[in-house]
Structure 1
Amino acid sequence: AYGIAQAMHREGAELAFTYQNDKLKGRVEEFAAQLGSDIVLQCDVAEDTSIDTMFAELAKVWPKFDGFVHSIGFAPGDQLDGDYVNAVTREGFKIAHDISSYSFVAMAKAC
Protein backbone atom coordinates (compact mmCIF):
# COMPACT_ATOMS: atom_id res chain seq x y z
CA ALA A 1 0.00 0.00 0.00
CA TYR A 2 2.81 2.41 0.83
CA GLY A 3 4.44 2.11 -2.59
CA ILE A 4 1.12 2.55 -4.36
CA ALA A 5 0.28 5.62 -2.28
CA GLN A 6 3.73 7.11 -2.94
CA ALA A 7 3.36 6.61 -6.69
CA MET A 8 -0.14 8.08 -6.72
CA HIS A 9 1.01 11.08 -4.68
CA ARG A 10 3.99 11.57 -7.00
CA GLU A 11 1.57 11.67 -9.95
CA GLY A 12 -0.57 14.32 -8.26
CA ALA A 13 -3.42 12.26 -6.83
CA GLU A 14 -5.36 13.50 -3.83
CA LEU A 15 -5.41 10.68 -1.31
CA ALA A 16 -7.61 9.55 1.55
CA PHE A 17 -6.70 6.81 4.02
CA THR A 18 -8.57 4.45 6.30
CA TYR A 19 -7.72 2.66 9.51
CA GLN A 20 -9.43 -0.24 11.23
CA ASN A 21 -9.38 0.90 14.85
CA ASP A 22 -7.87 3.40 17.28
CA LYS A 23 -4.78 1.24 17.71
CA LEU A 24 -3.84 1.95 14.07
CA LYS A 25 -5.16 5.51 13.76
CA GLY A 26 -1.96 7.36 14.73
CA ARG A 27 0.21 5.34 12.38
CA VAL A 28 -2.15 5.97 9.47
CA GLU A 29 -2.39 9.68 10.27
CA GLU A 30 1.41 9.96 10.14
CA PHE A 31 1.52 8.02 6.88
CA ALA A 32 -1.20 10.24 5.37
CA ALA A 33 0.57 13.43 6.47
CA GLN A 34 3.77 12.29 4.76
CA LEU A 35 1.78 12.11 1.55
CA GLY A 36 0.03 15.45 1.97
CA SER A 37 -3.35 14.17 3.13
CA ASP A 38 -5.42 14.98 6.18
CA ILE A 39 -8.29 12.70 5.15
CA VAL A 40 -8.10 9.74 7.51
CA LEU A 41 -11.29 7.79 8.15
CA GLN A 42 -12.16 4.82 10.34
CA CYS A 43 -13.34 1.71 8.47
CA ASP A 44 -13.63 -1.82 9.82
CA VAL A 45 -14.19 -3.86 6.66
CA ALA A 46 -15.67 -6.71 8.70
CA GLU A 47 -18.75 -4.52 9.20
CA ASP A 48 -20.86 -3.29 6.28
CA THR A 49 -22.16 -0.38 8.36
CA SER A 50 -18.58 0.78 8.95
CA ILE A 51 -17.90 0.69 5.20
CA ASP A 52 -21.10 2.64 4.49
CA THR A 53 -20.23 5.21 7.16
CA MET A 54 -16.71 5.64 5.79
CA PHE A 55 -17.99 6.33 2.26
CA ALA A 56 -20.62 8.74 3.63
CA GLU A 57 -17.87 10.64 5.48
CA LEU A 58 -15.68 10.63 2.38
CA ALA A 59 -18.56 12.06 0.31
CA LYS A 60 -18.58 15.10 2.62
CA VAL A 61 -15.03 15.85 1.46
CA TRP A 62 -15.19 14.51 -2.09
CA PRO A 63 -18.62 14.33 -3.76
CA LYS A 64 -17.06 11.83 -6.16
CA PHE A 65 -13.75 10.02 -6.49
CA ASP A 66 -11.96 8.08 -9.20
CA GLY A 67 -11.17 4.82 -7.44
CA PHE A 68 -9.79 3.10 -4.40
CA VAL A 69 -6.89 0.83 -3.60
CA HIS A 70 -7.79 -2.28 -1.63
CA SER A 71 -4.64 -3.42 0.12
CA ILE A 72 -6.11 -5.34 3.02
CA GLY A 73 -4.97 -8.74 4.18
CA PHE A 74 -5.64 -10.51 7.44
CA ALA A 75 -5.73 -13.96 9.00
CA PRO A 76 -6.00 -14.82 12.67
CA GLY A 77 -2.52 -15.38 14.08
CA ASP A 78 -3.18 -18.96 15.05
CA GLN A 79 -3.94 -19.72 11.40
CA LEU A 80 -0.40 -18.75 10.44
CA ASP A 81 1.51 -20.87 12.94
CA GLY A 82 3.23 -24.07 11.95
CA ASP A 83 2.11 -26.37 9.18
CA TYR A 84 -0.59 -24.74 7.04
CA VAL A 85 -2.79 -27.80 6.70
CA ASN A 86 -2.76 -28.46 10.43
CA ALA A 87 -3.13 -24.81 11.49
CA VAL A 88 -6.00 -23.69 9.29
CA THR A 89 -9.55 -24.12 10.51
CA ARG A 90 -12.76 -23.57 8.59
CA GLU A 91 -13.61 -20.56 10.77
CA GLY A 92 -10.11 -19.06 10.42
CA PHE A 93 -10.26 -19.54 6.65
CA LYS A 94 -13.64 -17.76 6.52
CA ILE A 95 -12.28 -14.84 8.53
CA ALA A 96 -9.19 -14.54 6.32
CA HIS A 97 -11.26 -14.46 3.14
CA ASP A 98 -13.91 -12.15 4.57
CA ILE A 99 -11.31 -9.53 5.46
CA SER A 100 -8.81 -10.12 2.65
CA SER A 101 -11.15 -10.79 -0.29
CA TYR A 102 -14.84 -10.16 0.30
CA SER A 103 -14.13 -6.72 1.75
CA PHE A 104 -13.18 -5.58 -1.76
CA VAL A 105 -16.63 -6.55 -3.03
CA ALA A 106 -18.32 -4.91 -0.03
CA MET A 107 -16.41 -1.68 -0.66
CA ALA A 108 -17.18 -1.73 -4.40
CA LYS A 109 -20.88 -2.16 -3.63
CA ALA A 110 -20.85 0.67 -1.09
CA CYS A 111 -19.11 3.29 -3.19
Structure 2
Amino acid sequence: MSTHTLLARAMADEVGPRLRTLPDRVVELLSSLGSPPRLAAHLRAVHDVAHQLVDWLEQRCPAATFDREAVLFGAATHDTSVWRTWWSASPTRSGRTSASPTWRNSS
Protein backbone atom coordinates (compact mmCIF):
# COMPACT_ATOMS: atom_id res chain seq x y z
CA MET A 1 0.00 0.00 0.00
CA SER A 2 1.42 3.41 -0.93
CA THR A 3 2.27 6.08 1.64
CA HIS A 4 -0.33 8.35 0.01
CA THR A 5 -3.03 5.70 0.49
CA LEU A 6 -1.98 5.12 4.10
CA LEU A 7 -2.03 8.87 4.75
CA ALA A 8 -5.54 9.19 3.29
CA ARG A 9 -6.74 6.27 5.45
CA ALA A 10 -5.17 7.75 8.59
CA MET A 11 -6.94 11.07 8.02
CA ALA A 12 -10.43 9.84 7.14
CA ASP A 13 -11.02 6.08 7.19
CA GLU A 14 -13.33 4.47 9.67
CA VAL A 15 -10.90 1.66 10.38
CA GLY A 16 -10.13 1.24 14.05
CA PRO A 17 -11.70 3.51 16.66
CA ARG A 18 -14.49 5.82 15.52
CA LEU A 19 -12.73 9.17 15.32
CA ARG A 20 -13.91 12.38 13.73
CA THR A 21 -12.23 13.08 10.43
CA LEU A 22 -9.80 15.97 10.26
CA PRO A 23 -11.05 19.29 8.84
CA ASP A 24 -10.60 19.61 5.07
CA ARG A 25 -8.00 22.36 5.37
CA VAL A 26 -5.91 20.17 7.70
CA VAL A 27 -6.19 17.23 5.28
CA GLU A 28 -4.97 19.54 2.50
CA LEU A 29 -2.09 20.78 4.66
CA LEU A 30 -0.94 17.31 5.69
CA SER A 31 -1.25 16.03 2.13
CA SER A 32 0.73 18.96 0.71
CA LEU A 33 3.49 18.37 3.27
CA GLY A 34 3.63 14.65 2.50
CA SER A 35 3.08 13.93 6.18
CA PRO A 36 3.62 10.39 7.41
CA PRO A 37 0.43 8.40 8.10
CA ARG A 38 1.45 7.91 11.72
CA LEU A 39 1.48 11.69 12.28
CA ALA A 40 -1.93 12.07 10.61
CA ALA A 41 -3.40 9.29 12.77
CA HIS A 42 -2.01 10.95 15.92
CA LEU A 43 -3.37 14.36 14.92
CA ARG A 44 -6.76 12.84 14.17
CA ALA A 45 -6.93 11.24 17.62
CA VAL A 46 -5.90 14.48 19.35
CA HIS A 47 -8.45 16.42 17.28
CA ASP A 48 -11.18 13.99 18.33
CA VAL A 49 -10.31 14.36 22.03
CA ALA A 50 -10.22 18.16 21.64
CA HIS A 51 -13.73 17.98 20.18
CA GLN A 52 -14.91 16.04 23.22
CA LEU A 53 -13.28 18.53 25.61
CA VAL A 54 -14.69 21.57 23.80
CA ASP A 55 -18.18 20.04 23.80
CA TRP A 56 -17.87 19.23 27.51
CA LEU A 57 -16.66 22.73 28.34
CA GLU A 58 -19.46 24.39 26.36
CA GLN A 59 -22.09 22.27 28.13
CA ARG A 60 -20.77 22.65 31.66
CA CYS A 61 -19.30 26.15 31.54
CA PRO A 62 -21.44 28.10 29.08
CA ALA A 63 -19.95 31.41 30.27
CA ALA A 64 -16.43 30.33 29.27
CA THR A 65 -15.22 32.19 26.21
CA PHE A 66 -12.74 30.68 23.79
CA ASP A 67 -12.31 30.28 20.06
CA ARG A 68 -13.68 26.79 19.41
CA GLU A 69 -12.36 26.62 15.85
CA ALA A 70 -8.88 27.76 16.89
CA VAL A 71 -8.74 25.08 19.59
CA LEU A 72 -9.82 22.37 17.14
CA PHE A 73 -7.45 23.56 14.42
CA GLY A 74 -4.59 23.72 16.91
CA ALA A 75 -5.32 20.19 18.09
CA ALA A 76 -5.37 18.95 14.49
CA THR A 77 -2.05 20.60 13.58
CA HIS A 78 -0.09 20.83 16.84
CA ASP A 79 2.81 18.54 15.87
CA THR A 80 3.08 19.57 12.22
CA SER A 81 5.85 22.13 12.81
CA VAL A 82 7.77 19.68 15.00
CA TRP A 83 7.63 17.12 12.23
CA ARG A 84 8.67 19.67 9.57
CA THR A 85 11.65 20.75 11.70
CA TRP A 86 12.71 17.15 12.24
CA TRP A 87 12.22 16.30 8.57
CA SER A 88 14.24 19.24 7.28
CA ALA A 89 17.09 18.50 9.70
CA SER A 90 17.15 14.73 9.17
CA PRO A 91 19.17 14.52 5.92
CA THR A 92 22.14 16.32 7.48
CA ARG A 93 21.99 14.25 10.64
CA SER A 94 21.61 10.80 9.15
CA GLY A 95 22.25 10.96 5.44
CA ARG A 96 18.62 10.29 4.55
CA THR A 97 16.99 12.19 1.75
CA SER A 98 13.62 13.87 2.08
CA ALA A 99 12.22 11.08 -0.08
CA SER A 100 13.02 8.47 2.56
CA PRO A 101 12.14 9.67 6.06
CA THR A 102 11.99 7.25 8.93
CA TRP A 103 10.60 7.69 12.41
CA ARG A 104 12.25 6.62 15.62
CA ASN A 105 10.31 3.96 17.50
CA SER A 106 8.02 3.36 14.50
CA SER A 107 6.23 0.08 14.25
TM range (shorter): under 0.3
Higher helix fraction (1 or 2): 2
